[in-house]
Amino acid sequence: MHVTITAVGPDNRGLADPIVHYVTDAGANIHEIQMYDHDAEQLFAMLLRVEWPETAGAVSTLREAMRDIGERKGLSIRTWARDERKDLPRIALCTTYRPEPARAVLRDIRDGRLKAQCAVMIGNRNACRGLAEDFGVPFHNIGKGGDPDYGEMTRLFDEYQVDYMVLARYMRVLPPRICWEFAGGRIINLHHGLLPSFPGFRPYQDAYVRHMLTYGATVHFIIPELDAGDQIIHQGTFNVFPGTPLEEITRIGETDNEPNVLSEGLRRVIDREVELHFHRIIKNSRK
């Protein structure tokens, strides 16, 4: 079974050794390993992908062993295998103001176009609480005046046993720690502009002042670098005539293009058409 292990904690010596030794001694085949030191935060982060053999026991056995190592080494270790459960993959929809992308995902789940279940909606504002209630999904506001409590976000991801975190126009930059705790293609972001040309928070305006006639949105996997370009899952565009007002361009993008792009990008992940390997998108050979 394909298993992803992440370990995050205060930087120190000898943190990776017990993790690597345990999985190799159990006969696991390592597909990918990455280790990083974030000097500014004195943070150690590690990503390990392995093929866990049936002869080594259940994934729960591996998870318990990793939990013991984490307690000894002061690390937060997560052990995730999408195939461990037999039910549909569980997603968390993270929102701020715009409801349209999240609504498109919830409709596709309801109508069977997206083979997933929405376990929870999390917002740093209450703008999408009514949407969650309409679809019978638990909603948690982790924001105080819009300022998110990322410890609470992490706790909710774990509590609801989420497989994928979907940033459906969640207008905050996740801290590096969360990006590493759920690394390996588990965090999916909708960016309301075409990457890599128009990153940042004002892509419609940035494209408009450059007299662009084609606008779009991008769905990509999250890694700690903001709006990096090698993790693009799907992009969708629309064209406008010269002289189209920015307000009309933004309206089309927000109400039509962005929701469609997110739904299709998430479908590619859920249907296992693509995966993230060494920070790059590849065709999923295990589909």
Q: Which residues contact 188 (CB under 8 A, 6 or more apart)?
A: 164, 165, 166, 167, 219, 220, 221, 222, 233, 265, 266, 269
Q: Residues with catalytic annotation?
A: 227
- The closest alpha carbon to 121, from 178, 245, 105, belongs to 105
SS3 for 57? coil
Q: What angle, rounded to 10 degrees, do the helices at 100-110 and 258-270 form?
A: 50
Element (H, E) at 276: strand 274-277
Helix axes 59-73, 17-25, angle to 10 degrees: 160
Length of the chain: 287
Q: What is the rounded distance in angstroms from the CA atom of residue 223 to the CA atom of residue 231?
A: 8
Order of strands, sheet of 164-167, starting from the edge strand that comes earlier in the sequence: 139-141, 117-123, 90-95, 164-167, 187-191, 214-221, 232-239
Q: Which two tokens stand for residue 244?
A: 């189209």
Cα 86 to its chain centre, rounded Å, is 21
Distance of alpha carbon 65 from alpha carbon 83, whole angstroms: 19
